Amino acid sequence: MAEEKIKPIKNPLAKFGDLHDLDNLEKRISAIGVRHYQMRGRNEDDMRDFDGRKIFSAIYGSIINTPGYENDFIEGSRFHHDYSNGNLNDQELALRVYELVAHQIRAAFPSLPHPPDIESVQDMIVETFTETGLISLAKHFQLYRGAKRANRFDPETGKQNLNDIQLKRALFGELGIHEPTKAKQVQLYKDWGCSSIAALNEIVQDKQAFKELILSQNDAYISMMQELAEQLVNDDKVKAIVFAGPSSSGKTGGSTTLARMMTLLGVPTQHVEVDMYFWTANQQPMTRQDAFNYEQPVSIRLRKAGQDLVEVLQGYKINFPHHNFGVESKTNFKPFSVAEGTKLMIDSHMGLNPNLVKPIIKEFGEDAVKIVYIENYHGFENVLEEDIRFLRRMVRDVTGRGHSPYATAQGWFNVEFNGNGEIKARLESADYHVSGALAHDLPLLMYAFSLIEDQKIESGDLKEGESLFPNLGDFMTTTNSNPDAYVRLHRIANNLITNLEFEAEMMMEITEWMSPFDAAREFIRDIGLPEGTKIDLANFPTQHVYGQNYK
């Protein structure tokens, strides 16, 4: 009888050539016990030996592949003191993080018959990065994880949702960024002379320069969307265009603009907001903080939405949901149908999730769906896209959902966690990429905050001199710790919201300068403008210089 060959266990640390004192490191990892000797894989039959070195490797790999993560070591964060004193290199940081993850594993899986599973452990890594203020590492790890997930074989379609070439671009490019689209924006901002917040500050103080910036940005945005519209109307096979992207990236403004342009080019296109298919409040998944988490695929009935839209395209009338995000978080229904030959413009932050488009592709074929990915790609140096989206979301939540900026900051971890894992990680599967950034929206967002503050003071909700913007200290108390919000707000307070102010009287002129397609209108139209600046947006294109091109 032939002797059974035992497959040698590969040391996961061997792939790193820069680890110091490997034998001692393995002893330290082993000493951090988790009580378990097995781990469950991604399906119930996949059981494997528990190996703390693999978890350490995942953490260390994320650390050494995330340039600039050191900027998250701000005062008040967990590792700030040791880092400032030079006692924390990449290897030591990975070991400290692994120790915290191991503690979570022991707490979450205390019984030996019930081993931890790989997805839960990966969640814990992201949570640990976040809870220690290392949000750049949390972002990188979740993006990498999401891209790997999208690359796995889908038995329903018989293929991968992200092919190997797309995966390599996602993993070895700058994770979560479509570099050609980003590069175009960087060059535009250079041409406009606003590559930094300091340069933008100077422009805002100069009325003529600010006007020219708004006009230039609107011209660039309209040209970008017009070019895309012309490509899509010439493709007779396309039944639906999916407009996808992370929260507050400009999806609604971009998708409605694109639908309108396609209609004006002779191809009727109906905007459809699929995010209305959210489950009602009593059916929504909750976070550990007992808050609603609208940012994950299971929050939306994606398959139901896809099936309904197939019926619409076949000429049937459906009951379309209208979700109310207010206190009651309930859904009403209205009849919905479109004329024959009308294309659908599907607006959804989960538009890259294959479950949404599978029913449409099954009925009409692969060429029936085109996907447009939008992100807030700007050209400001040392400013993250999500920070400006964060400010946009704050204003939108105050005006449209009745949430305070404090509540938005508290829940932003969920937005980024699922945005990185479920949206940005799949961006390479999109057919087209556009930018929803506006070079001028930061000062308008700050103006919106000031107006809301004035209204709150007038109503008595705020005292004179109080700020609507969340206080940094509120997120670092022992009873209400939120390092993710603290780091983001610290970064925004120091990098973005300084001197971006203009006289209120200028708002009348600014609304005249802005194109009817300017997405910044979403952030100013619902908060009340100075007397005389209210505009009939339905008829606005006929009153504006841009209107003559799109009648």
Of 125 and 153, more confident: 125
Span(s) in the chain for CATH 3.40.50.300: 177-549
Question: Of 58-67, 502-511, 519-528, where does mean pLDDT reach its minimum?
Answer: 519-528
Question: Of 45-49, 260-264, 481-485, 525-529, where does mean pLDDT reach its minimum?
Answer: 525-529
Q: Which residues, other chains included, contact 146 with Cβ-Cβ below 8 Å and sequence gap of 6+? A: 420, 421, 422, 424, 425, 426
Torsion angle of alpha carbons 176, 177, 178, 182, nearest 10°? 170
User: How far is residue 136's CA from residue 292's CA, in Å, rounded to a whole number?
Assistant: 24
Q: Which residues, other chains included, contact 519 with Cβ-Cβ below 8 Å and sequence gap of 6+? A: 221, 250, 252, 253, 254, 257, 436, 438, 441
Rounded average pLDDT over 370-389: 92
Q: In sequence order, what are the beta bridge partners of 271?
A: 345
Q: In sequence order, what are the beta bridge partners of 319?
A: 335
Asked whether residue 536 carries a pLDDT value surpassing 50, the answer given is no
pLDDT at 483: 77
Q: Are 523 and 441 in contact (CB under 8 A)?
A: yes
Instruction: Return the axis-axis angle of helices 302-313 and 354-364, rounded to nearest 10°.
Output: 30
pLDDT in tens, 46-84: 777 788 899 999 999 999 988 888 888 877 778 888 888
Could you list the beta-strand ranges (E) of 387-524.
Answer: 432-435, 476-477, 480-481
Asked whether residue 342 carries a pLDDT value surpassing 50, the answer given is yes
Asked whether residue 416 carries a pLDDT value surpassing 60, the answer given is yes
pLDDT in tens, 438-460: 999 888 888 877 777 777 777 77
CA nearest neighbour of 469 among 482, 450, 491, 483? 450
pLDDT at 325: 59
Average per-residue pLDDT in the chain?
81
pLDDT at 287: 55
Amino acid at 485: A
Q: How confident is the model at residue 478 (pLDDT cuts 50, 70, 90)?
A: very low
pLDDT at 144: 86
pLDDT at 199: 92
Rounded average pLDDT over 220-237: 94
Q: How confident is the model at residue 92 (pLDDT cuts 50, 70, 90)?
A: very high
pLDDT at 473: 65
pLDDT at 543: 32
Q: Are 317 and 296 in contact (CB under 8 A)?
A: no
Task: Report percent pLDDT > 90 for the chain.
Answer: 31
pLDDT at 224: 95
Q: Which CATH number fits domain 177-549: 3.40.50.300, 3.40.50.740, 3.30.70.20, 1.10.599.10?
A: 3.40.50.300
User: How far is residue 145's CA from residue 70's CA, in Å, rounded to a whole number?
Assistant: 21
User: How far is residue 253's CA from residue 520's CA, in Å, rounded to a whole number?
Assistant: 9
Q: How confident is the model at residue 461 (pLDDT cuts 50, 70, 90)?
A: confident
Asked whether residue 297 carries a pLDDT value surpassing 70, the answer given is yes
Rounded average pLDDT over 489-511: 72
pLDDT at 356: 92
Question: Of 71-75, 316-320, 422-426, 538-542, where does mean pLDDT reach its minimum?
Answer: 538-542
Asked whether residue 535 carries a pLDDT value surpassing 50, the answer given is no
Question: Cα 410 to the chain's mean position, in Å?
Answer: 15
Q: How confident is the model at residue 163 (pLDDT cuts 50, 70, 90)?
A: confident
Asked whether residue 228 carries a pLDDT value surpassing 90, the answer given is yes
Rounded average pLDDT over 343-362: 92
Rounded average pLDDT over 494-502: 66
pLDDT in tens, 181-210: 999 999 999 999 999 988 998 998 888 999
Of 264 and 545, more confident: 264
